[in-house]
C-alpha cells in the first residue's frame, strides 16, 4: 500500500512539473505572438503611410493637370467658341462640310 501512495505522490509531482512547464511554454508562446503581431503591425503602418503619401502626391499631380487644362471662360481670349450641335432641341445636325 505504501508503494501505491509513493507512486501517486510521484505522479502528482510529475503533473505539477508538467503544469509548470506548460505555463512557461504558454507564456513564451504568448510573448512570441505579441512580438510578431507588433512587428507585422509596424510593417502594415509603414506600408499604409507610404501608400497614403503616394496617393496624396498623385492627387496633387492630377489637380495640377486639371488646373492646367481648365478652359478659359467664355468671352476671353483662348476660349472655345464652337456652337452646340443641337442644344437639346432635337434639330437635325447641321451640315459641317
CA angle centred on 95, ends 92 and 97, rounded to 5°: 160
Report whether pLDDT(1) > 80: no
71 in Cβ contact with 79 (< 8 Å): yes
Average pLDDT, the chain: 84
pLDDT, tens digit, 9 for 90 and up, residues 53-80? 999 999 999 999 888 877 777 777 777 6
Q: Between these two residues, 84 and 48, which has the higher pLDDT value?
A: 48
**Residues 93, 89: Cα–Cα separation, whole Å:** 11
> Among residues of the chain, what percentage have pLDDT more than 90?
53
**Residues 8, 24: Cα–Cα separation, whole Å:** 24
pLDDT value of residue 9 = 84
Distances 64 to 54, 75, 76, 80 between C-alpha atoms, Å: 15, 24, 22, 21
pLDDT, tens digit, 9 for 90 and up, residues 2-15? 566 668 888 899 99
Report whether pLDDT(48) > 90: yes
72 in Cβ contact with 78 (< 8 Å): yes
**Residues 48, 97: Cα–Cα separation, whole Å:** 56
Amino acid at each position: 500500500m505504501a508503494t501505491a501512495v509513493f507512486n501517486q505522490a510521484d505522479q502528482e509531482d510529475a503533473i505539477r512539473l508538467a503544469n509548470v512547464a506548460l505555463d512557461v511554454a504558454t507564456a513564451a508562446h504568448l510573448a512570441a505572438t505579441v512580438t510578431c503581431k507588433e512587428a507585422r503591425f509596424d510593417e502594415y503602418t509603414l506600408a499604409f503611410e507610404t501608400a497614403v503619401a503616394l496617393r496624396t502626391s498623385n492627387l496633387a499631380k492630377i489637380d495640377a493637370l486639371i488646373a492646367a487644362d481648365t478652359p478659359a471662360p467664355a468671352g476671353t481670349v483662348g476660349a472655345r467658341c464652337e456652337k452646340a450641335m443641337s442644344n437639346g432641341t432635337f434639330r437635325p445636325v447641321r451640315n459641317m462640310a
